[in-house]
Amino acid sequence: MNKPTARASEKRTVEVQILGQRMVLKASDDPRHVERLASYVKRKVDEASAHGPISSSKLALLAALNIADDYFKAMDEAREFKRQVAVKSRAMLSEIDR
């Protein structure tokens, strides 16, 4: 079994702020990636709060649902893209075989 290198298991801290809450996260990923994720979540929280005052728990739930919606739409688009590539690939292979 491969032993993880010291660098692979090294965790870095990243400070983010969402809903006025400062959080220090430990991440083994590139800190810029974690900052990008936090920025996306913050944007979704801000979008959900744009419609007026709402409790932070409901706000978090709305943001999570919006993020899940984005995720499922992206998965559907990826599946459709793969389907289209497969159809075109089969057509090209048929054409080559002729």
Residues 49-70: tens digit of each pLDDT: 998 889 988 999 999 999 999 9
* Residue 7 confidence (pLDDT) above 70: no
Residue 4 has pLDDT above 80, yes or no: no
Question: Where is 94: in which H helix or E strand?
Answer: helix 56-97
pLDDT of residue 52: 86
What's the whole-model pTM score?
A: 0.73
pLDDT class of 9 with cuts at 50, 70, 90: low
Cβ atoms within 10 Å of 42's Cβ, excluding its own: 15
Mean pLDDT over all residues of the chain? 88
